Amino acid sequence: MLDQTAVEKLDVEAVNKGAKQNAQPLYAARQKVHPKRAEGTYRRLKWIIMAVTLGIYYITPWLRWDRGPHAPDQAVLIDMANRRFYFFFVEIWPQEFIYIAGLLVMAGVGLFLITSVVGRAWCGYTCPQTVWTDLFLVIERFFEGDRNARIRLDKEPWTGSKIAKKLAKHATWLVIAVATGGAWIFYFADAPTLAYNFATGQAPFIAYATVAVLTATTYVFGGIMREQVCIYMCPWPRIQAAMLDENSLVVTYNDWRGEPRMRGQKKAKAQGLLPGDCVDCNACVAVCPTGIDIRDGQQLECITCALCIDACDAVMDKVGHERGLISYATLADYNHNMRVAMGGENSGAIDPSNVRDQNGNFVDAIRGFKWREMLRLRTIIYTAAWAAIGIALLIALGTRDRLEVNVLHDRNPVFTTLSDGSIRNGYTVKILNMVAEPRTITLTLDGLPGATMAINGIDAEPGTTFDIPVEPDKLRPLRVFVSQPRDMVAPGSTPFSFIVEEGEAGETDIYNANFEAPE
Amino acid sequence: MADDKKDIDAVSGVETTGHEWDGIKELNNPLPRWWLWTFYATIVWTIGYTIAYPAWPGITGATAGVLGWSSRGQLAEEMDAARAEQAVYLSRIEQADVNAIAADPELVQFAVAGGSSAFKVYCVQCHGSGAAGGEGYPNLNDDDWSWGGTLEDIAWTIRHGIRHEPDLDTRFNDMPAYGRDQILDRDQISDVAWYVRQMSGQEYDEEAAARGAETFEIECSACHGIDGEGVPELGGPRLNDAIWLYGGSHAEIVAQINNPQQGVMPAWGDRLGETTVKQLAVYVHQLGGGQ
């Protein structure tokens, strides 16, 4: 039944093995990790996620969105120079940055939620460091072959073919790195225009500098530093422990069915030994991009990319065991099964006879993952918070004003006495037309008996109502002088309102100001 | 440390520096390589840098550096660049008269900004930072102008000053000291003061004001107007309004008739130049009272 010969024991050492690291001096040189190609469910999922995330990153700036003649037609645009942020049908002014802040809070809470349910899924699947490293590994494999070929190549003396392979690899990496840096700048300006200017040397210096820096970071992080970024630079591995609990799904080596691991299981059985499922082939170690042995248990270095699951499942298929020797499992289930395997004790040796019955099936006491475990107070609170912020943002976005008025009262002088004894106050009234079409806004002075206003630069008799043309998507500041006749002036401070109205859309906004007069 | 033998720490297997404090030994771990190389790179950089830029101190000054850079020079460059940007507008302002400037929104924006900053340097000492003036110093926000409130009038006043005798075109008048020079007696002066209060809409003594009206017509109306409406051409202030440069109480008006205070403003034309004078005029005019 068991075809042991089909499974080769790989000559591989976990270079970032925890126990080994502790004995090392602090400043050990990095040992290169040569991850082997894995095949399976999670690898396929990762290919899809890689295609989607890279696709979003590279294609988004080129999407167009018609906003009429007075606004840019780029679907996603961070227009720093004009202080506008465009996202498809949404346009954000700087004072509306709360929407971005809300999105960031949602991203944060979302990360907590995902982590509390499936551990470091962000690290293993969607983190740019992981995605680009994966992409760079594809290039590396294309030119240099898989793990063993690469190890051989690295040991070889520098021949023409080795130089050619290495050159080709690094050149391709650089091209990808330039494309990565290049795509970033298109989010900040009209992409086709900037692409043309960039190619013809007319783009601003900052564009070239940004591309240079991002090219360097992509090349260095994705090609050279790789797992060191995760292990030594990234704070997330240190923070994530607070997000996980005993019901979070994490990539787990199930000792309770794997141990005692041994090779030559037929021979062992003939000698009366009872082996676990692990055939000690090291396939899980060979595919690991961070160079650890998952069988050592939960480790800071593990980004839960799940490639060891794929590798192990393939081996389990070959040797005829159930899949899932390495699997997504919760600590609670794992601890429970460990107790079963150790005969109900909390410590001791694992006895495979506690785990399987005589027919080779798992005993009833062995527990698997149940979807219900995802519904916990913690995940429900995270989901509720996430959804509440999202709904609040949507409501705010749906009901927000596209016409606003802000008023600054002159402080020096607070008021001026005119020849006829009337009192005049000066204001800077700012009318914000936040739509991409020109509009005529009616500015009305309300609630100040007898008072009229005059506006600098607008030739009209003083009155209480003015029609102010405002350019599309612009703020128009006005110097407004409000005068109240002598016999109507109340001493001290009198509240009144500036009202702006727009007829067609029926929008209106009110600013409650004060009129100051001598006490 | 007399002996040459290396002292190896038993636990870590690392050589120690030989320094020991209460039994604690300092390990001689090597510096990280990347750190060391960065350090060497900075040293190499320093050599080039100190040749290119001012660096080594000497007796009278530091070496100049082959690039010839200096912070003073950089400031001069930035100032030149700023002046070059302003020159476009300044030359347009130089060529246009004040009314033409006021009709061009772009120039108005520039002139108001430039006038505002010049005002804060040269004018605020008397007129205040908000141009609201004070006793004896006119408020420039209001609509009362002793010498006229059109753009041209304001520019002229700034250019030539008031009672600034070295300038032959200066605004000049001289109110007689009716009391000091005994042109009018005490009672007449008091009566005129009551009449001035009447025409400006304040409380007054009716009989005295009636007597004062006659005196006003003879002595004062030539400069202040028949109804006290002022004669800007002569700088005769308007009296039938609510604005008082030296106070509007009976006593203050009497004091002013007795022995008038006459304010002086320097002529700024030669000192600031015509472009700045025009910008100041545009700035003052748009404060709210310009005519």
Provide the number of CB pairs (under 8 Å) joining chain A to chain B. 58
pLDDT, one tens digit per residue, over A153-172 is: 989 899 999 999 999 999 99
Which of B37, B141, B197, B243 to probe by mutation at the A interface, max A CB count within 10 Å?
B141
Cα–Cα nearest to A473, from A434, A514, A502, A519: A434
Task: Please answer yes or no on whether B32 and A27 come within 8 Å at the CB atom.
Answer: yes
Task: Please answer yes or no on whether A27 and B30 come within 8 Å at the CB atom.
Answer: yes
Cα–Cα nearest to B245, from B230, B233, B227: B230
- CA–CA distance, A23 with B39 (Å, rounded to integer): 29
Q: Which CATH class is domain B186-258?
A: mainly alpha
pLDDT at position A24: 58
- CA–CA distance, A167 with A178 (Å, rounded to integer): 16
pLDDT in tens, chain B (291 residues): 445 667 888 777 788 888 888 988 888 888 888 899 999 999 999 999 999 999 999 999 888 889 989 999 999 999 999 999 999 999 999 999 999 999 999 999 999 999 999 999 999 999 999 999 988 999 999 999 999 999 999 999 999 999 999 999 999 999 999 999 999 999 999 999 999 999 999 999 999 999 999 999 999 999 999 999 999 889 999 999 999 999 999 999 999 999 999 999 999 999 999 999 999 999 999 998 888
Of A421, A424, A426, Cβ closest to residue B201:
A421
Over its C-alpha atoms, chain A yields an Rg (Å, rounded) of 34
Given pLDDT bands bounded at 50, 70 and 90, which one contains residue A21? low
For residue A413, the chain B residue with the least C-alpha distance is B130
Q: How large is the average pLDDT for residues A204-220?
A: 94
Q: What SS3 state is found at A477?
A: strand
* Element (DSSP H or E) covering residue A426: strand A423-433
Task: Please answer yes or no on whether A421 and B32 come within 8 Å at the CB atom.
Answer: no
Given pLDDT bands bounded at 50, 70 and 90, which one contains residue A9? confident
Q: What SS3 state is found at A356?
A: strand
Given pLDDT bands bounded at 50, 70 and 90, which one contains residue A25? low
Task: Please answer yes or no on whether A418 and B243 come within 8 Å at the CB atom.
Answer: yes
Of B32, B142, B201, Cβ closest to residue A416:
B142
pLDDT, one tens digit per residue, over A418-467 is: 999 999 999 999 999 999 999 999 999 999 999 999 998 888 889 999 99
Task: Please answer yes or no on whether B139 and A411 come within 8 Å at the CB atom.
Answer: no
Cα A107 to its chain centre, rounded Å, is 7
Of A412, A420, A426, Cβ closest to residue B129:
A412
Given pLDDT bands bounded at 50, 70 and 90, which one contains residue A387? very high
**B52: closest CA of chain A, how far (Å):** 23
- CA–CA distance, A366 with A256 (Å, rounded to integer): 10
Task: Please answer yes or no on whether B139 and A413 come within 8 Å at the CB atom.
Answer: yes
**A479: closest CA of chain B, how far (Å):** 9
CB atoms within 10 A of CB B162: 21
What's the whole-number average pLDDT of chain A? 90
pLDDT at position A275: 85
**B257: closest CA of chain A, how far (Å):** 21
Whether the predicted pLDDT of A263 surpasses 60: yes
Give the DSSP per-residue string, chain B: --S----B-TTT-PBEEEEEETTEEEE-PPPPHHHHHHHHHHHHHHHHHHHHSS--B-SSSB---TT---HHHHHHHHHHHHHHHHHHHHHHHHHS-HHHHHT-HHHHHHHHHHHHHHHHHHTHHHH-TTS--BTTB--SSSS--TT--SHHHHHHHHHH-BS-TTSTTSB------TTTTTSS-HHHHHHHHHHHHHHTT----HHHHHHHHHHHHHHTHHHH-TTS--BGGGTB---SSS--SS--SHHHHHHHHHS-----B---HHHH-HHHHHHHHHHHHTTTT--
- CA–CA distance, A197 with A215 (Å, rounded to integer): 19
Task: Please answer yes or no on whether A419 and B143 come within 8 Å at the CB atom.
Answer: yes
Distance set, CA A420 to CA A182, A412, A463, B205 (Å): 66, 21, 17, 22
Task: Please answer yes or no on whether B142 and A486 come within 8 Å at the CB atom.
Answer: no
For residue A483, the chain B residue with the least C-alpha distance is B288
Cα–Cα nearest to B223, from B198, B196, B252: B196
Cβ neighbours of residue A519 closer than 8 Å, sequence gap 6 or more: A491, A492
Tell me the percentage of chain A whose pLDDT exceeds 90.
66
Which of B135, B142, B285 to probe by mutation at the A interface, max A CB count within 10 Å?
B142
Whether the predicted pLDDT of A389 surpasses 50: yes
Whether the predicted pLDDT of A5 surpasses 60: no
Given pLDDT bands bounded at 50, 70 and 90, which one contains residue A23? low
Residue A124 has φ and ψ, to the nearest 5°, of -80, -25
Cβ neighbours of residue A82 closer than 8 Å, sequence gap 6 or more: none
**A25: closest CA of chain B, how far (Å):** 8
The residues of A whose Cβ lies within 8 A of any Cβ of B are 25-27, 410-413, 416-421, 424, 426, 456-457, 479, 481, 486
**B37: closest CA of chain A, how far (Å):** 15
Which chain B residues touch A420 with a CB distance below 8 Å?
Answer: 241-242
Top mean-pLDDT range of A5-14, A251-260, A497-506, B77-86? B77-86
Given pLDDT bands bounded at 50, 70 and 90, which one contains residue A366? confident
Structure token digits, residue B197: 């209060």
Strand-by-strand arrangement of the A439-446 sheet: A465-470, A439-446, A492-502, A507-517
A165, A270 contact by CB (below 8 A): no
Structure token digits, residue A268: 């062992």
Query: What domains lie within chain A, and their CATH numbers?
Result: 41-96+127-241 (no CATH), 245-369 (no CATH), 403-517 (2.60.40.10)
Q: How large is the average pLDDT for residues A147-151?
A: 90
Pairing of strands A84-87, A76-79: antiparallel
Cα–Cα nearest to A119, from A248, A288, A272, A268: A248
**B240: closest CA of chain A, how far (Å):** 8
**Which sequence spans correspond to the domains of chain B?**
74-169+265-285, 186-258
Asked whether the domain spanning B186-258 has the same topology as the one spanning B74-169+265-285, the reply is: yes
pLDDT at position A353: 83
B276, B114 contact by CB (below 8 A): yes
Residue B144 has φ and ψ, to the nearest 5°, of -105, 115
pLDDT at position A31: 83
The fold adopted by the segment(s) B74-169+265-285 is Cytochrome Bc1 Complex; Chain D, domain 2 (1.10.760)
For residue A417, the chain B residue with the least C-alpha distance is B142
CB atoms within 10 A of CB A402: 17
The residue assigned the tokens 């100041």 is B280
Task: Please answer yes or no on whether B144 and A419 come within 8 Å at the CB atom.
Answer: yes
**B41: closest CA of chain A, how far (Å):** 18
pLDDT at position B2: 45
- At A78, the amino acid letter reads I
**B142: closest CA of chain A, how far (Å):** 5
Structure token digits, residue A228: 């060191």
Which of B202, B227, B240, B243 to probe by mutation at the A interface, max A CB count within 10 Å?
B243
Cβ neighbours of residue B236 closer than 8 Å, sequence gap 6 or more: B146, B173, B222, B223, B224, B225, B230
Of B14, B129, B139, Cβ closest to residue A416:
B139
CB atoms within 10 A of CB B105: 9
- CA–CA distance, A464 with B86 (Å, rounded to integer): 38
Cα–Cα nearest to A405, from A507, A304, A325: A507
Q: Which residue has the higher pLDDT, B75 or A371?
A: B75
Query: Within 13 Å, how many C-alpha atoms sit on residue A164's CB side?
Result: 3
Of A411, A419, A481, Cβ closest to residue B243:
A419
Cα–Cα nearest to A295, from A259, A331, A246, A330: A259
CB atoms within 10 A of CB A245: 14
CB atoms within 10 A of CB B266: 18
Of B12, B286, B288, Cβ closest to residue A424:
B288
